[in-house]
Amino acid sequence: MIKYSSEVAAAIKSATPIVALESTIISHGLPRPQNLEVALEVEKIVRENGATPATIALIDGVIHVGLEADELNRIANDDKVVKASTRDLAIIEATKQSAATTVAATSHIAHLAGIKVFATGGLGGVHRGHSYDESADLHALGEISIVIVCAGVKSILDVSGTLERLESFAIPVLGYQTNKFPGFYLTDSGFEIEHRVNSPAEIAAIWANRIALASDNCAIVVANPVVNQMNPELHDKVLTAGLAAAQTSHITGKAVTPFLLEYFHRESAGESLRVNIDIIKSNAKLAAQIACAL
């Protein structure tokens, strides 16, 4: 049921490290034409750090683990590409649509393919003011054993509520060289994290221990703070206006996150875009290092 790119197929055969990459950030998270440039650059960073990139998506109903150049181009530029969560996968396959996969869906497919490390920008979580709008990312990560490298949860979310839900699902959260939970566009969300790790080797040791102990079968969240953060005043101003705009425009369901990200990129005059690109590049690098250490 899975089509592997030639590069990923070779990596599986030779049992060399692989990093899964999601595709919703390409189709629905970043504007054109930067989205394709960033997707290619991120794959390059994974290679330069000793691992093979496996960008995951569905093309004409077929699950792809690793995309060839024309396929990546399609995910970046075809308006018909939909955003798929885990619940959509069987439907997209049956109806032969093309879809980009969220953190939830990408983790599921990566796990099917035996990939242990995954890089994204920011996790989905609990939305502000809507306790029933909770990303399926959280539920998926509660059930899938994978290391996910992110810059915390997106700052458009209720960060404290999301941290509580991560605790409910018993998902371990590791601060990478920090005890401050990162705030996606911001280096520090204002919340503490108990556990700090300082190297990929330490993460590999934790991974080995949990297997030996059979203690947990869910994801490990590695929270990697962005170095050059967005101006916090600009961030808060755009966020307040964006949340109000989402409400007056009656944006619901899976459109909420893409709407807010696009609002940010437009209203911050590219400042949030710069930071989002930094985030995904830095996370891809760390994910490759972790994949090698595992």
Using CB under 6 A, list all residues that contact ligand PSU: 22, 24-25, 28-29, 102-103, 120-122, 124, 135-137, 254, 257, 261, 276
SS3 21: strand
Angle at which helices 34-48 and 271-293 cross, to 10°: 30
**Whose Cβ is closer to ligand PSU: residue 12's or residue 135's?**
135
**Whose Cβ is closer to Mn ion: residue 95's or residue 252's?**
252
SS3 99: strand
Residues 234/240, Cβ–Cβ less than 8 Å: no
CB of 213 to ligand PSU, least distance (A): 29
User: What does DSSP say about strands 62-65 and 52-59: parallel, antiparallel, or unpaired?
Assistant: antiparallel
- Closest residue to ligand PSU, judged by C-beta, is 121
**Whose Cβ is closer to ligand PSU: residue 22's or residue 88's?**
22
Rounded Cα distance, 251 and 207, in Å:
39
285 is catalytic: no
* Partner from Mn ion, ligand PSU, none binding residue 27, C-beta < 5-8 Å depending on class: none
**Whose Cβ is closer to ligand PSU: residue 74's or residue 293's?**
74
CB of 87 to ligand PSU, least distance (A): 11
Task: Give the pair of three-digit tokens for residue 20.
Answer: 């899964």
- Return the residues of window 118-137 that contact Mn ion according to CB under 5 A: 133
Those residues whose C-beta lies under 8 Å from the C-beta of residue 187, and which sit 6 or more positions away, are 180, 225, 226, 227, 229
Instruction: Name residue 18's beta-bridge partners.
Output: 52
CB of 34 to ligand PSU, least distance (A): 12
Which of 43, 116, 134, 154 does the annotation list as catalytic? 154
Which helix (H) or strand (E) is 190 found in, with range? strand 186-192
Which of 22, 43, 71, 134 does the annotation list as catalytic? 22
Which residues are marked as active site? 22, 154
Q: What is the binding site for Mn ion (CB under 5 A)? A: 133
